[in-house]
A and B are shown apart, each in its own frame.
Chain A
């Protein structure tokens, strides 16, 4: 069993010696996944082509869309108004159609999207205490920690302590507002544009709007263009893009 790589440096714990591919035992999960997919296709529940098309849809999702969305809202007052009023229409304007790829949206994400506007005295943070609801069409797949019972248990009761563990210390004059995304709405945080970004282009601004800022566990900061480095638990057979 692979151990978590505490340095966050990647595959070190799982490198194969030599050039010959290591023969590994198939896991119970892989066996069950293959058996179910084969049976579903053989029974006509869906086609292999459906599965391939949906995989392609998932693989092109990335948090960069959310970063661009926020940067545009920072520089364009009309877009900001539209984004706060009808975030689905605003998404459409920047090329993200929430009805994709099925014609009625992604089955698990629904098509109700709302932006949570931070102010100097209000900070939003998002959780789904019941599962892991997350705006995939805008941000892609959720990070592992967001799905854990630990985050879900504690952020709704000890939000300031949990945010501090992420390195975010909020003063008493800032109201913390936890959004428990427990039904069909999906949420994304619109952070306050930080000082020191005057005159920046939309592209420059988008770079400091990391995924963690869009969930509300970090604040955008000039010079910080990636999420905090966390330990990475490696996969046995990671997703291959071919």
Chain B
């Protein structure tokens, strides 16, 4: 069990509606049910949960290796970190999102992007996984490591523009001056649009429809909806840090009336407050 105080099975026995008929008919899915299915699994803010014991965890060697591989793939222009977040935190679906270890999902994202972007075939991956397993069939007997057979041609690989354009500037600084005049200023009252969720966003569900105040005009950047799909052809836009009253976000908020929350939101999601 990932969290020791969550391992008490008898407290977790619960009723569930399992329909004998899989694949509901279209007329059986109303808007609310549809929204529940479409909600991106990474967007967990405000979901009810029980108090837990907050734990530390020792890092596995493969976890560090996985993190580093993800970062190096960004460094060398194979993906941006937003593509990784989309693939590893959302695309894999709710069951795997909540079931796999944290870095297990990072690893899943590497496999997915390498196959999707045609750097490797799925056949190659399947054969290599099988071969590595056979290599260690007698047990590990100590540290294990990668043993590449060859070194590939660096020049022959398709890479993004970002990993070159951002050098010496940083990200989001590499987008500075590309989004024109900001539509909002510090002090503006804004509302978060209630746009539908399809595939990916970084505008949390718990903020949709809420009103707050702009406290910082942050930077220009591609929106996550574009960056997560490697759309370097798209226009960048302004981002804003918006302050909300917690009592405006949650019905029957149990803290104090002046408690607040801030989040950073792209311009497409904001409108002048209604």
- Which residues of A does B touch, CB under 8 Å? 3-4, 6, 8, 21, 23-27, 29-48, 50-51, 54-55, 58, 88, 98-99, 101-108, 110-112, 127, 129-132, 141, 143-145, 147-154, 156-162, 165-166, 172, 175-185, 230-240
Q: Given A23-B141, A112-B218, A129-B204 in contact, is the A107-B81 Cβ separation under 8 Å?
A: yes
What B residues does A143 contact at CB under 8 A? Answer: 56
Q: Which residue of B lies closest to A151 (CB)?
A: B54
What A residues does B92 contact at CB under 8 A? Answer: none
Q: Given A38-B128, A41-B152, A98-B170 in contact, is the A51-B80 Cβ separation under 8 Å?
A: no
Q: Which residue of B lies closest to A8 (CB)?
A: B56
Is B261 among interface residues, defined by CB-CB distance under 8 A?
yes
Q: Of the candidates B42, B58, B80, B258, which one forms a contact with A238 in the assembled complex, judged by CB atoms under 8 Å apart?
A: B58
Q: Of the candidates B50, B69, B133, B263, which one forms a contact with A40 in the assembled complex, judged by CB atoms under 8 Å apart?
A: B69
Please measure, in the bound complex, the distance between the C-alpha atom of A162 and the C-alpha atom of B168, giving whole angstroms: 40
What A residues does B256 contact at CB under 8 A? Answer: 160, 172, 175-176
B259 pairs with A175, CB closer than 8 A: yes
Count B interface residues, CB 8 Å: 120
Q: Given A33-B62, A237-B62 in contact, is the A182-B56 Cβ separation under 8 Å?
A: no
Q: Which residue of A lies closest to B139 (CB)?
A: A23
* Chain A binder among B17-25, B27-35, B102-110, B177-185: B102-110
- Which residues of B does A touch, CB under 8 Å? 1, 3-4, 42-76, 78, 80-81, 84-85, 89, 98, 101-104, 107, 110-111, 114, 119-120, 124-125, 128-129, 131-133, 136, 138-157, 163, 166-174, 202-204, 206, 218-219, 221, 224, 239, 241, 243, 246, 249-250, 253-256, 258-266
A26 pairs with B74, CB closer than 8 A: no
What B residues does A88 contact at CB under 8 A? Answer: 170
B114 pairs with A111, CB closer than 8 A: no
Cross-chain pairs A/B with CB under 8 angstroms, 23 sampled: A21-B142, A34-B145, A37-B146, A38-B147, A41-B148, A42-B152, A44-B154, A50-B72, A51-B68, A58-B64, A58-B71, A105-B171, A107-B73, A107-B81, A127-B45, A129-B204, A150-B52, A154-B51, A157-B45, A178-B259, A184-B218, A232-B58, A239-B61
